[in-house]
Amino acid sequence: MKIAVIGAGYVGLVTGACISEMGHTVHVIDCDPDKIAAIKAGNPPIYEKGLDELLQRNVGRSLFATSDYDTVRDSDLVFICVGTPCRDDGCADLSMVRAASQSIGKILTGCNHAPVVVVKSTVPPGTTECVVRPLVQDAAGRSDIPCAMNPEFLREGRAIRDFFHPDRIVIGSSDIACFDAVASAYQGIDAPVIRTSVPAAEMIKYVSNAFLATKISFSNEIGNICKRIGIDVYEVMKGVGMDTRISPHFLDAGVGFGGSCFPKDVTALITFADSLGEDPLILKAVIKVNENQAVRMLTLLKSRLPMIRGKKIAVLGLAFKDNTDDVRDSRAIPVIAGLVKEGALVAAFDPVANAAMAKIFPDICYCSSAAEALTGAEACLVMTEWPEFSRLEKEFDLMNSRVVIEGRRILSYRDREGVCW
Ligand code: UDX
């Protein structure tokens, strides 16, 4: 198939690269000339495990990058994979989705053929049918352009594995020919493919993320209760998660969830529900518990090290989780902001995210290793689960005083404590 992918970010580039690996011809379209140049040279503009190999194998053969929409004209499918960040009022910002829809429509004016326009971006229910379809069709001056919704469930750091081994493929489509066209892009992937209504597909994405975020906030709340009485929440959740109705996944307590999806998607679902006159109590509590965990980490630090002004505090792990350089909504952000506000000297280290965090906090100290961050530190906060942190042991001898607090359980070092264990 000939497939165009609009947006060369975490979702678009991974999707495009994986689809090209399956033998389709893919054009990834992005307005950022630097991203296009990097992809053309076979260099991923983002850090994602295995993406460099995929680009090197397929760029110039079955994968092409361009800022020109021309290729949409003879494509079978066009995936919209642009960002839908959270606006200040909590709604999903659809400006990039609108712009992409209009550009697709314009290029299809006077064209005999019409690709299926597939929304992959996470959008509120109703967006594909009430925003994307009319914008594409108005710009094209025709009413025969099919639209579908096909949410992604890719985890950063594991996105390529998730693409080839999904639990399910969801395709929202009101017409069977359009469903078949989208499904054939995934031919060869061994996973159930379900057809739903278009708004149900949009809702499935929001609800999946909201449910996973709820599991995390639930575990964190239980962790906070357990810590009061010296019970290990990881032991508790191990026993709880063995119940097949519950499952062991996403029960790891800690400093809370971050990233480009959970915080913004739960917030967008809350705003969407509010707009319908509903008061989503559970979803609101999920966000509140999440925000409180970072505050709890700072409170715990201050109870162990009452005076932090002028003290060196090591912060290990800056991205929102391990194996990514993505710092969007990372829990390290409120923690570092709190430390800076209290006058601490922050020594930060992440195996791949120092540069990304330097754009947010240009004035803190970035270290090239955990050992450098720990040297002379009065306390250490471990924010993410990078496997290399689990091997830290003698490096803690370099600290001035050994206050070590984890935001996720990863250290084998004995004298550490967790934010909620
Ligand atoms: C998530 C969804 O998993 C994915 O399906 C969707 O397409 C995009 O959003 P991602 O944001 O890449 O993926 O990260 P994920 O691995 O799901 O973790 C999200 C956050 O939750 C991270 O901050 C992580 O550290 C945290 N988390 C995860 C926990 O605190 N505890 C857990 O048990 C699991």
How far apart, in Å, are the Cα atoms of 276 and each of 87, 124, 266, 272, 285? 18, 12, 15, 7, 19
The pLDDT score that the predictor gives to residue 421 is 96
Cβ atoms of residues 324 and 48 within 8 Å: yes
By CB atoms closer than 10 A (0-12, 13-18, 19+), residue 353 is buried
Q: Is 257 in the pocket of ligand 1 (CB under 6 A)?
A: yes
Nearest CA to ligand 1 atom 22: 257
229-280 confidence digits (pLDDT tens): 999 999 999 999 999 999 999 999 999 999 999 999 999 999 999 999 999 9
Is the pLDDT at 61 greater than 90? The verdict is yes
Two structure tokens written together for 325: 């350089």
Amino acid sitting at position 70? D
Q: How many residues does the chain have?
A: 421
Distance from C-alpha of 366 to C-alpha of 356, rounded to nearest angstrom: 11
Is the pLDDT at 33 greater than 90? The verdict is yes
Number of helices (H), then strands (E), in the chain? 16, 14
- Domain locations in the chain? 2-196, 292-418
- 2-196 shares its CATH topology with 292-418: yes
The pLDDT score that the predictor gives to residue 47 is 86
Distance from C-alpha of 412 to C-alpha of 409, rounded to nearest angstrom: 9
Confidence of residue 413 (pLDDT cuts 50, 70, 90): confident
Tell me, what DSSP letter sits at residue 398?
Answer: G
Fold of 2-196: Rossmann fold (3.40.50)
> How many whole angstroms from 257 Cα to the centroid of ligand 1?
7
The pLDDT score that the predictor gives to residue 172 is 98
Nearest CA to ligand 1 atom 10: 155
Please tell me the pTM assigned to this model. Answer: 0.96
The pLDDT score that the predictor gives to residue 415 is 86
Name the CATH code of domain 292-418 (choices 3.40.50.2000, 3.30.70.260, 3.30.70.2190, 3.40.50.720): 3.40.50.720
- Cα dihedral: 98, 103, 104, 110 (round 10): 130
> How many whole angstroms from 384 Cα to the centroid of ligand 1?
12
